[in-house]
Chains A and B, each alone.
Chain A
Amino acid sequence: MAFSAQTEKYSGKMGTLTFGSGDQALTVGGQAAMPFGSFDGELPNKAVIAMEVYDVVNPEWPAAVVDPFKDVINDPVAWAKKNVEEYGAKAICLQLTATDPNGENKDAAYAADLVAKMLDAISVPLLVWGCGAVEKDAEVLAKVCEVNEGKNLLVGPAVEENYKKIAAAALGYGHAVVSQSPIDVNMAKQMNILISNLGLPMDKIIMEPSTAALGYGVEYSYSVMERISLAALAQNDEKMQCPMINDIGKECWKAREVMLSEKEEPGFGPDQEKRGVLWEAITALDMLIAGSNLLIMRNPKAVKLVEECIEELTA
């Protein structure tokens, strides 16, 4: 008798999210099976990596994430262009560090203007990420949405304390929103309910269930994401059927293991760059296997490595 592999039938399907405008628009999500499980169901869209660009760089960054951008590191627009043209970035994530009230505290108009310039300079979809100060992010991201109306940006993170303003602006000016929650299945769902209650459709929301780096709790992110995927697919829980995004670069490139040289920590071995690249790539792979659809990454070699893996696993 011929061998026939058992397959898992899921009653639900993950929704999709499209960001960017015109021919540049990208769609993620829409999977009807667990990650890379094409034998169980359709996986219509490959995961996408958005490469990071900072408006202010922390001087403590290790060489592995400074050297590739040395010539453009003080010019975020040029950096974005370089990521696209030289490193083949499929999307860009602008990290608005300069708006942090505890840092340079630049205003919303600055951010909106920077986003507009970046949109003019690049030909791929753009994510705009706030500094993490909830009130400031609401103000800045609302302005970014308003000034760049209709560009279908992906803005975030919207959290419980500021989602209303951000989601309202995204709804009003035609953008999509990252809904971030503290590493818990139910809280992720609650954020989706709250944001969609405001009228933003589910296909304009992507979840960031809180990302932890390898060695810093990646297993927690993993299990929460896997449970979200199962709730969406196996239980057909429609409020869980938003694709997922992970903010990886920021978490990985502050880990002790990537920051310290062999001199400071002999046990870590000589190749600090390789160590950092692998740290980011392996964290990213973990997130992909947990069900991520969109990854924010920093190092070009790590990005290349993960993209090769995606190609191989979906071939």
Chain B
Amino acid sequence: MPNPIHQVTFQPNNQTVDVFRHGENLLRVAIAAGVHINASCGGNGGCGKCRVIIDQGQPESEKSAKISPEEWDKGYRLACTTKVVDDLTVTIPPESRIDNSVLRKDLGQKQHTLMARDLNSLVQGVKINPAVFKYYIELPAPTLDDNLSDLGRLTRELKNEHQLENISADYFLLRRLPRLLRDAKWQVTVTIVYNPKGLKLIDIEAGDTRDKNYSIIIDIGTTTVQGQLLNLNASHQAEERSVIDDLESELLVASDAKYNSQVRFGEDVITRIVYSQKGNGLNELHREIIKDLNEIIDNLVNKGGIEKDQISHLVVAANTTMTQFFLEIDPKYLREDPYVPTANFFPPVRAIDLGLKLPDYVHVYTFPAVASYVGGDIVAGTLGSGIFQREELTLFLDVGTNGELVLGNCDWLVCTSCSAGPAFEGGGLKYGMRATTGAIEQVRINPQTYEPMLLTIGKEKPLGICGSGVIDAIAEMLLVGLIEPNGKFNQELNTDRVRKSETGWEYVVAKADQSAEGIDDITITEGDIDNIIRTKGAIYAACKILLESVGLTFAELDSFVIAGGFGKYINLERAITIGLLPEIDVEKFMFVGNGALLGERLVSVSREMMGEAQNIAAMMTNIELANNMKFMDEYVAAQFLPHTDTNAFPKTMEMLK
């Protein structure tokens, strides 16, 4: 743990919390301290409810129409627009205070909210050695005495200058080569790509362009597609550095994400495979995903302020079905007994051959798949999580539309996947959305008034609710008694926030007047809760069965790595309260955000990691849950908050008493 920079003490209950980031938002600090402050606009200063009184210390705070000059002088501030830049003592005014007599057992206790770590130190000893690299060469012009062919001349110099051997050249390159070399006066930069089969010369440019070497990495999820633009030149310059973390800011140039457009053909992979079997279905689905990738590539190029011809490499990780759609390979047999994919290791392919609008020399590296329902994304995640290097027993859980799990250490790996549904990515929920600006990401509920305390991503007016917000909200609703352990609303409470709508009972998280323009009341419905219970039940059951399959239990885990598109934060206590995560020591959890992108990034900067990815795919043993009776039992047992097996959640049960 780093050392705290500031301390904030909340009165009247004298709760002190450490702050690790200079300028941290005061409302977020309050949530971390387990202190309730009414806040219904998501943190943009619009509702004026999160008033606090600063007794000691100097925070940075914005003036607000909601606070009169007299109040300002008395120390009143809006918590959501206040930054902690000093040690503070803050008094919660009576209207936000919770009567001590009903003080919840969990309030005032330290919360464990994990922030997604982007590039992390989970993997040790990564040698910076990108799969795509550039060399600047000055060739001697041919003479009658030295009349070697153009290509021969080039490879001779690469061997002499850079000790590169057995390089094959792309055919298309040859067509450009003679004129280009002479126009460039024999001073050129070559781009060489490494793949497990050898080296390939893919591009040649006039002059020295070594500083323009970018890679794009894409994670194709069933519901969400995410991409990042990486500056490989940064990694090149940092060759002597051993800790990849140092690179983070220089390496990552831009990020982008969107929903997978194939969703209109079906939310899950099975429906899409069925669709692909009709007429031109496979081609339609393929074109749809290529369209999404082109859109993301365009956005990344724009955001990064670069030209497309500076991109040298594309890395793609996806589940097996998405991989086959991406490569336009018939996925029919993925869903038919005995569930065999077309290939585990996919040969490199030129991006333009797939319809991607990238220069003709850009090749795609596709992550290898393990089985029909354990794809390249999980291999990438396993790589990124570093399990394959550790002695300790680790469970890696990637929550997407499919929950994918890997268990093991440096000696062995077993994996499985379960159909979870897109709920944690915002899919299938009335006001669900991806974790982007305006998504409610943290929720607390006052146990007396049932008024919420909200924080949105970007502190904009609420547009909807993302995975981490839904986890928070459902856990809070359970803790304050708004819902029963079966996810049904308590209909006899005195609050207008619980109401019956056309679609059933629901809780109003953000009222229309506090939400973004054009957004009605944002609610969580009984249907949404059912959806989340099914999803979290499937994930928990799959974790348990995977452990049981090798004779282990949750208690024996040394670490538990979570990845997924929930949002930027995940509150462990809340995730445990709803039974998504097991009740184990919270210190064992790690949250890495998008696991697949992590692994893809490693492959981009280190070709040794490409070899590791192949090894991982080859060493993983897949456990099939589809016809596992025990899984069905465990699944039903988990359809409850937190779980039918209350003995597995003693602390949660204590809080619920």
Contact = CB atoms under 8 A, between A and B. Distances in A.
Interface string B632-654: 01001101100010110000000
The winner among B637, B644, B646, B647 for most chain A CB atoms within 10 A is: B644
A189 B485 CA distance: 12
Given A186-B644, A189-B644, A197 B636 contact: no
A186 B636 contact: yes
Nearest to A184: B636
Given A186-B644, A189-B644, A194 B485 contact: yes
Contacts of B636: 184-187
B518 to A, nearest CB: 36
A193 B485 contact: yes
Taking residues whose C-beta sits less than 8 angstroms from the other chain, chain B's interface range is: 10 to 19
Interface in B479-505: 484-486, 488
A186 B486 contact: no
A160 B486 contact: yes
Contacts of B647: 237
Contact of A197 (B485, B633, B644): B485
Given A194-B484, A194-B485, A239 B639 contact: no
Contacts of B485: 190, 193-194, 197
Contact of B633 (A160, A185, A237): A185
Contacts of B488: 160
A193 B637 CA distance: 13
B523 to A, nearest CB: 21
Contacts of A185: 633, 636-637
Interface residues of A, number: 12
Nearest to B635: A186
Interface in A189-235: 189-190, 193-194, 197
Contacts of A187: 636, 639
A193 B488 CA distance: 14
A239 to B, nearest CB: 7
B640 A190 contact: yes
B640 to A, nearest CB: 5
Interface in A106-150: none
A194 B640 CA distance: 10
Given A194-B486, A197-B484, A186 B646 contact: no
A168 to B, nearest CB: 10
Nearest to A193: B485
Contacts of B639: 186-187, 190
Given A193-B644, A239-B646, A186 B637 contact: yes
Contacts of B644: 186, 189-190, 193
A193 B640 CA distance: 10
A190 B640 CA distance: 7
A238 to B, nearest CB: 9
The winner among B486, B633, B646, B647 for most chain A CB atoms within 10 A is: B486
A186 B633 contact: yes
B498 to A, nearest CB: 15
B489 to A, nearest CB: 11
Nearest to B640: A190
Interface string B423-461: 000000000000000000000000000000000000000
Nearest to B634: A186
A193 B646 CA distance: 10
A182 B633 CA distance: 14
12 contacts: A160-B486, A185-B633, A186-B637, A186-B640, A187-B636, A189-B644, A190-B486, A190-B644, A193-B640, A193-B646, A194-B485, A237-B647
Interface of B: 484-486, 488, 633, 636-637, 639-640, 644, 646-647
